[in-house]
């Protein structure tokens, strides 16, 4: 078994695709409209679906926004340099909601950004030990 994807419901698919591809650097892997069901699915990620876990962005045509609830946490992305990633994300118009720095009570450098629908994405700086494990 392996994890295939995580699905997020988005209110504006084009805005979300711009964020995930232009700001976070993911690739649009596939996109399909389901007219009978009035929804569109778009899959984005850092590699092909055969080898990596990806994000499924679901846009229900008649719904412009969602309440995120209090059970959802975040998506995590490994980065080489969280400080640099935050600067680049801000320069591209992204919303950094927790600047890069050591996590509370630890040494791992993390940051948080928010997508256009309010979903949190944690950036985790990978040190040499983490890269080699």
Active-site positions?
122
Two domains, one topology: 5-60 and 75-132? yes
Give me the residues paired with residue 45 across strands: 27
What topology is assigned to 75-132 in CATH? 2,3-Dihydroxybiphenyl 1,2-Dioxygenase; domain 1 (3.10.180)
d(CA 133, CA 131): 6
Residue with tokens 């995930």: 20
**Average pLDDT estimate for 100-117:** 96
pLDDT given at position 106: 93
pTM (2 d.p.): 0.89
Q: Residues 51-89: pLDDT tens digits? A: 999 999 999 999 999 998 888 899 999 999 999 999 999
d(CA 94, CA 61): 24
Q: Write down the pLDDT at residue 128.
A: 62
Gap between the Cα atoms of 45 and 5, Å rounded: 9
DSSP 86-116: HHHHHHTT-EEEEEEEEPTTS--EEEEEE-T
Tell me the pLDDT tens digit for each residue of 13-51. Answer: 999 999 999 999 999 999 999 999 999 999 999 999 999
Categorize the per-residue pLDDT at 127 as very low, low, confident or very high, splitting at 50, 70 and 90. Answer: confident
Both tokens of 60, joined, read: 């229900």
The yes-or-no verdict on residue 102 having pLDDT over 50 is yes
The CATH architecture annotation of domain 5-60 reads: Roll (3.10)
Which tokens sit at 77?
A: 């992305």
Domain regions of the chain by residue span: 5-60, 75-132
């Amino acid at each position: 078994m392996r994890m295939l994807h995580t699905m997020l419901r988005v209110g504006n698919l084009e805005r979300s695709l711009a964020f995930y591809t232009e700001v976070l650097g993911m690739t649009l892997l596939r996109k399909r409209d389901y007219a009978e069901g009035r929804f569109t699915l778009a899959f984005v990620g850092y590699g092909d679906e055969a080898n990596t876990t990806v994000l499924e962005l679901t846009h229900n045509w008649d719904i412009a926004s969602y309440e995120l609830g209090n059970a959802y946490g975040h998506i995590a992305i490994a980065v080489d340099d969280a400080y640099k990633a935050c600067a680049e994300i801000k320069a591209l118009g992204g919303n950094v909601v927790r600047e890069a720095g050591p996590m509370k009570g630890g040494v791992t450098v993390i940051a948080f950004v928010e997508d256009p629908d309010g979903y949190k994405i944690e950036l985790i700086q990978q040190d040499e030990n983490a890269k080699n494990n």
